[in-house]
Structure 1
Amino acid sequence: MSALAILDLGYGNVESVRLGFVRLGAEPVLVRDRRAVENAERLVVPGVGHAGYAMERLEAHGLVDALKARVRPTLGICVGMQLLFEASDECERPLLGLLPGRVAALSSSPTTPVPHMGWTRVKDVAAGVGLEQDEQLYFAHSFAAPESPYSVASMLYAGRHAAAVRKDNLWGAQFHPERSSAPGARYLEAFLAS
C-alpha cells in the first residue's frame, strides 16, 4: 500500500504536485491503475486542463467507481477538485458527484479577466486545513465550484466561490497548493496529517 499516491493519467500538473509533497519530506508514488487507487492510504487527483478530458481519462482507466468508493483521504487539486462535484459548465459529461453542485464558468470583466491567474486572498477559512484568513494563494482557472456547507475557504473573484472544500475524507483545493508558498505547504501538511 502506498502512503501517498498521485494519480497520473497523462494530463495536468502531476510533476509540480509531486515536487510539492517531496519538499515536505513525503515520498509520493505515481499511480494509474484501479488497485493502486483503491489501496492508497492517501490519494491526490491533480489537474490542469479540461474537466471533460479528465473524466474521459478516469473512465478509460476504469477509475470512476474506485474514486467514488474511497474512504481514505483524497485530495483534488484545481480540475481535480472540480471533478468531485456533480457537473460542470465545461462539459456535458457527469462528474464524480461526491459533492453537490455544479462548477460554473467565471464571468470575465475588465477587473476580473478569465482565466483567473495569480494570487488571491481567501476568506472564511475553517480550522484544520492549514490556511489562515486573508492569506494569498495562487490560482489558475476559468471555472469555479460554488460555495456550500463543505467550503472551508472562499475566494472573491468574478463573484464568490469555493477556494477549498472538505467533506469527511474528501479534500479539494481550487488553488494550487504546490505553487502557493508557505500557506500552500501548510495546506498539504494538513492533508498529510488527516
Structure 2
Amino acid sequence: MKIVIIDYGAGNIQSIKFAIKRLGFEAVLSSNEAEIKAADKVIFPGVGEASSAMRMLRQSKLDLLIPTLKQPVLGICLGMQLMCDKSEEGDTNGLGIFEAPVIKFNNSVKVPQIGWNQISDLSSPLFKNIKELEYVYLVHSYYVAECEQTIATSEYGVKYSTALKKDNFYGVQFHPEKSSNAGEQILKNFLEL
C-alpha cells in the first residue's frame, strides 16, 4: 500500500510517520502531484495557523490538487480545518471540501483546548472498534460546529465536530498519532478503508 503524507511545511509529520510504521506500513512525505495522485491513501496533516498554511498550499498548487483526489484522504487537526469552506483564523478561505465554517471558541472556555477529550456520536467505519466516549488528544482554539458531514462530536463549552466525512474525504480534529491505542486503531481503520 502506498501512503503519502502531504508535505507543505505545516505538519507534525514525524509523529504521523512513526504511528504508521508501528502499524507495519511505510509512509512517504511528498508535495509531488503525480506521487500524491498515485497513492492508495493520503494524509493531510496540519499544525500552525490557517492563513499561513493556506498560503503554503497555494504556493505549491496543492490547494488545487487536494479537492480533486479520489482515494481516501485524512485531514488531521489544522488539515481538517483547511478542508472546510472558511476559517475565522486569519479570515481564511479553505479548500471548500466540507461545507462548514471554522469558528473560534468563545471566551467562556480556555483556549487552546489542550489534552484529552471524549468523542461520541461515532458514525463511520473510521471508528470501527472504537467505543463511545473514548478519549483522544486535541490541541485547538478553533472548531467546526455540528453539520451534515459530522461523524463524531466532542464537547468543550459547546458540542462540536471532532470528525467529518464527505465522499472519500475524512477529517479529524484530534491527533490520532498522539491518541494512544484509540488513535492507532483509527489510523488502522483509515488505512483499511
Q: Normalised by the shorter chain, which TM-score bucket?
A: over 0.9
The DSSP-based 3-state class of the residue aligned with 1:129 is helix
> Match for residue 190 of structure 1?
189
TM-score, L = length of structure 2: 0.94
Matched, 1:83 2:82: yes
Q: Structure 2 regions of 5+ residues with no counterpart? A: none
* Cα distance in structure 1, aligned partners of 2:68 and 2:82: 15
Q: Is residue 2:52 matched to residue 1:53?
A: yes
- Whether the 8 Å CA contact 1:108–1:158 is kept in 2: the answer is no
The one-letter amino acid paired with 1:129 is L
| Pairing of 1:152-167 with structure 2 (within 5 A) | 152-167=151-166
Q: CA RMSD in A?
A: 1.2
Q: Tell me the residue number matched to 2:15.
A: 16
Q: Return 5+ residue gaps in structure 1 as ranges.
A: none
Counterpart Cα distance in 1 of 2:142 and 2:86: 11
Q: 1-side partners of 2:32 and 2:88: how far apart?
A: 28
Q: Which whole-Å CA distance do the structure 2 matches of 1:93 and 1:113 have between them?
A: 23
- 2:110 match: 113
Cross-structure match for 2:66: 67
**d(CA) in 2 for partners of 1:23 and 1:108?**
39
Q: Deviations over 1:138-174 (max 9, x none)?
A: 0001111121121111000021110111122111110
Count of matched residue pairs: 191
Q: Is 2:97–2:166's contact at 8 Å kept on the other side of the alignment?
A: no
State the Cα distance separating 1:181 from its structure 2 match: 0.6
More displaced stretch, 180-189 vs 32-41: 32-41
Match of 1:44 in 2: 43
Which whole-Å deviations, capped at 9, do the CAs of 1:16-37 have from their partners, x for residues lacking one?
1111111111100000122222
Q: Describe the superposition over 1:40-71 as per-residue Cα deviations: whole angstroms up to 9, x where unpaired.
A: 22110101111111111111111112111111
- Could you tell me which of 119, 123, 131 is aligned with 1:122? 119
- What TM-score, normalized to structure 1? 0.94
User: Could you tell me how far 1:93 is from its partner in structure 2?
Assistant: 3.0
Aligned residues: percent identity? 34
Post-superposition shift, 1:127?
Answer: 4.0
Residue aligned with 2:147, SS: coil
Aligned mates of 2:8, 2:96 — CA distance in 1: 20
Task: State the alpha-carbon separation in 1 of the partners of residues 40 and 76 from structure 2.
Answer: 17
Question: What is the CA–CA distance in structure 2 between the aligned matches of 1:181 and 1:20, rounded to whole Å?
Answer: 10
Measure, in 1, the Cα distance between the counterparts of 2:138 and 2:79.
13
Q: Deviations over 1:108-152 (max 9, x none)?
A: 33xx31000000011111141233200011000111112112111
- 8 Å CA contact 1:137–1:183 kept in 2: the answer is yes
